Amino acid sequence: MISKAISIFKQSIDDYHQFDCVNHPIQNHYPAGSLEALLYHKNWIDTVQWHLEDIIRDPNIDPVEALKIKRRIDSSNQERTDMVEFLDSYFLDLYKDVETDTNTPLNTETPAWAFDRLSILQLKIYHIAQEVKRTDVSNEHIQKCQEKLDVLLQQEIDLSVAIEQLLNDIAAGRKKMKVYKQMKMYNDPSLNPVLYRSGELACSPK
């Protein structure tokens, strides 16, 4: 499952970079509702947000445009969290018949959040690898990026093994899943004070 997930993440990243446009619509290759479709969609969200984060850091960006992108990033963060929860729902259903008891330990993160880390890691690997291939930079730059790439590739191996072990432990009843909804507050007009106070700022400038 892990190698398949990595392959899907890489496919999503490659598909995005055919257009390299944050506004290009997703074209998911997998059947709706399948684990593969969820993983592809998850990484597509991550990939678009990665590039939005790059764009907003342009020192010459128009402030109005920057605000639009910041709000889009907020929305993307919520969508990313929602997708992780969809993935966890898949795993909860997959392992629903596994027997555990009150002494069965929990893991520090759910399978879906572990896959979230793996998705982001693929983006780091892709973009650092692009830096290594550059011809307009110094050898020192390339060497430093290669060192980072080596670490990221080792991290990919370690994280893959850890996720595989986690899934095996859950399937065997050696660990159990427990999911908490993220309950983000900043996008909720009933929970964000600035929103439910009609735009009132917590600290007004003097």
Could you report the per-residue pLDDT of 52-82, keeping only the tens digit for each?
999 999 999 999 999 999 999 999 999 999 9
Distance of alpha carbon 158 from alpha carbon 164, whole angstroms:
10
| 179: DSSP letter | -
For the segment 176-187, the average pLDDT, to the nearest whole number, is 73
- Per-residue pLDDT at 204 exceeds 60: no
The CB-side HSE value for 160 (13 A sphere, CA atoms) comes to 15
Q: Which residues contact 200 (CB under 8 A, 6 or more apart)?
A: 193, 194
pLDDT at residue 187 in the model: 64
Could you report the per-residue pLDDT of 2-14, keeping only the tens digit for each?
999 999 999 999 9
Q: Quick check: 117 and 84 in contact, CB under 8 A? A: no
For the segment 117-128, the average pLDDT, to the nearest whole number, is 98
Q: Quick check: 47 and 39 in contact, CB under 8 A? A: no
Q: Which residues contact 129 (CB under 8 A, 6 or more apart)?
A: 149
For the segment 14-22, the average pLDDT, to the nearest whole number, is 97
Band the pLDDT of 108: cuts 50, 70, 90: confident
Q: How many helices (H) and strands (E) does the chain have?
A: 6, 0
Distance of alpha carbon 29 from alpha carbon 7, whole angstroms:
13
Tokens of 41: 């969609």
- Amino acid of residue 123: L
In terms of Cβ atoms closer than 10 Å to its own Cβ (0-12, 13-18, 19+), residue 19 is exposed
Band the pLDDT of 181: cuts 50, 70, 90: confident
